[in-house]
Amino acid sequence: MSELSVKDRTFLGHPIGLFVLFFAEMWERFCYYGMRGLLVLFITKALFEGDAKAFAIYGAYTGLVYMAPVLGGWVADKILGYKYAVIFGGILMAIGEFLILGGNLQWLYIGMAVIIVGNGYFKANISSIVGKLYDDQDVRKDSGFTIFYIGINLGALLATLVAVWVGETYGFKYGFALAGVGMLLGLVIFIGGQKYFDYAAMPPNPEDLHKKVFGPLTKLHVTILLSLLLFPLLYLLLQNNSWVGYLLIAVAAYVIFILLKAGFESGKVLTHRMIIFIILCLLNIIFWSLFEQAGSSLTLFADRNVNREGFLGFWDMTAGQTQFFNPFFILVMGTIFTWMWMKLDALKMNPNIPAKFGIGIMLVGVGFLVTILGKEAAQNYLVPMWTIVGLYFFHTVGELFLSPIGLSMVTKLAPPKMTGTLMGAWFLSFAGSNYVAGSVLAPLTGTGGESGEAEVTLTISESLDLYVDVFTQFGYIALVCGGVIVLLSPLLNKLMHGIK
């Protein structure tokens, strides 16, 4: 099949390759969210560690998971190409999930170290392939990324309904095992459908990749071996959580330097675009550090202070399953937002990208403020389920204003040879937000203390008061930050130089 005929074949108006990547990413997200949904509960309930240690591990792990694409994107850009990077990453992620089945803290650290490297190769590069399925000015790109984003959330939905439920009901090891099986399914789909996106995913120099550089070892072999050497380093970082924060700061400073240097060398337009990209990364951190309470403080809030019995008259939800509402609302509203952006664009009423970021941050604040109403309706210090439903509804609408648009924005702002690098930098902002979410913001709920004798256990009434007080502060801070960004959005948008 020729390159031209593959590129021209479409389904629902989009390249067929988009839907192959949709299902591959869906199962990879099933893997990731299955593990994430169980992580804090596994550490506190099966390993009997306190909240503080659980949050520190969660923050370090999720921070490193999103930091890894900085390296994975660069390696794909310069050496492996996107396809080989995704395949290698998927294999490692599946192996990592199965290693966690060892069932203690040491095996958890080992498994997480392997998953982090795998995610670094998989996550940024499959998104880069999606962007390269479209020409730079293709009006379908935003809606294409929104469709892809629906795949992400379908995977998250299945993870909370199946993997998390199985883990909480029958044993955490079964939930982690299911997550690993999901990753293997994603790999099968990706490899089986590669002919539909090969033209957008090959190495920069295919012949060079298989050239011997060290005895019998090719550049491909050396790259894989060097990647495996990262496991011990990541193991140490996970054990010493505070190091991750310093590493994030150092990597962020280096990435900012690289981006600004590339801009200054290419002229005013690219310089401005790199500046607005950095600003949007900082705004991304604000949004996601609040949003990502879902896997940490909000999950424990659901476990301790939410009445989860008889939801919809028949469903006794587990604490981890309350994360279901975010992907559910994405699936319900994703298509509506896809249509809405195109309609608003035709009417010339589509908000600019900085304004969308501001609105998204304001909405995540509104979601946290729903807990005030929930507390007033609480019985026996348990808030009704509609509190969680309302919170996740506003968080999800905010996410739809920001996240799929963000992925599309990266591929538009990036020069052709820097797509993987900018995508990696974009995921670095997620690394910062996840680290802040788990290691800085979640501990403010303060309901568990350290493990062992130093652990502080609050009564159910005390934990409700503290959770709602902290969430209320989050809400007001987000409203103010988002409002300021919306007001400044016309000035910020000028730095985009026509990118919409």
Q: Looking at residue 456, what is its pLDDT?
A: 63
Mean pLDDT (whole number) for 28-53: 92
Strands 14-15 and 212-214: unpaired
245-262 pLDDT, tens digit per residue, is: 999 999 899 889 988 998
Which two structure tokens, joined as six digits, stand for 368? 């946290």
Q: What is the pLDDT of residue 207?
A: 77
Alpha-carbon distance of 62 to 397, in angstroms, equals 23
Q: CB under 8 Å to 36, separation ≥6 — which residues? A: 62, 295
Residue 14, SS3?
strand
Kindly report the average pLDDT of the chain as a whole number. Answer: 88
Q: How confident is the model at residue 1 (pLDDT cuts 50, 70, 90)?
A: very low
State the Cα–Cα distance between residues 65 and 413, nearest whole angstrom: 24
Reported as a pLDDT band with limits 50, 70 and 90, residue 451 is very low
Q: What is the pLDDT of residue 50?
A: 86
DSSP letter for each residue of 61-84: HHHHHHHHHHHHHHHIIIII-HHH
pTM for the complete prediction? Answer: 0.86
Average pLDDT, integer, range 318-346: 87
Give yes or no for a contact between 442 and 55, defined as CB atoms under 8 angstroms apart. yes
3-state secondary structure of 488: helix
Domains of the chain by residue range: 3-494
Of the candidates 86, 312, 341, 84, the one whose C-alpha atom is nearest the C-alpha of residue 206 is 84
Given the structure tokens 């809405």, which residue do they identify? 340
The CATH number of 3-494 is: 1.20.1250.20
Query: What confidence score (pLDDT) does residue 471 get?
Result: 97
Query: Which pLDDT does position 407 carry in this prediction?
Result: 67
Highest mean pLDDT among 115-119, 251-255, 340-344: 115-119
Tell me how far apart the terminal alpha carbons of the chain are, to the nearest angstrom.
34
With pLDDT > 70 as the criterion, what percentage of the chain qualifies? 95
What is d(CA 73, CA 86) in angstroms, rounded to the nearest whole number? 10
Which SS3 state, helix, strand or coil, does residue 193 take? coil
Confidence of residue 20 (pLDDT cuts 50, 70, 90): very high
Rounded to the nearest angstrom, the gap between the alpha carbon of residue 350 and the centroid of all alpha carbons in its chain is 25
The pLDDT tens digits of the residues spanning 145-183 come to 778 888 888 999 999 999 999 999 999 999 999 999 999
| Residue 10 pLDDT exceeds 90 | no
- Residue 361: C-alpha distances to residues 288, 366, 396, 417, 470 (Å): 9, 9, 11, 31, 17
Q: Which of 272-281, 413-422, 452-461 has the highest mean pLDDT?
A: 272-281
- The values of phi and psi at residue 259, to 5°, are -65, -45
φ and ψ of 171, to 5 deg: 135, 135
Integer Cα distance of 477 and 484 in angstroms: 11
The answer, yes or no, to whether residue 452 has pLDDT greater than 70, is no
Q: State the pLDDT at residue 450.
A: 45
Look up residue 10 and give its DSSP letter: E
Place of tokens 């900082």: 282
* Distance of alpha carbon 279 from alpha carbon 411, whole angstroms: 16
- Dihedral sign of CA atoms 477, 408, 160, 234 in order: negative
Nearest CA-CA partner of 402 in 361, 372, 438, 371: 361
Kindly give the pairing relationship between strand 212-214 and strand 217-218: antiparallel
Q: Enumerate residues 6+ apart whose C-beta is below 8 A from 108.
A: 42, 43, 47, 57, 100, 102
Residues in the chain: 500
Phi–psi pair at 206, nearest 5 degrees: -55, -40
Residue type for 354, please? P
Tokens of residue 273, six digits: 């675009």
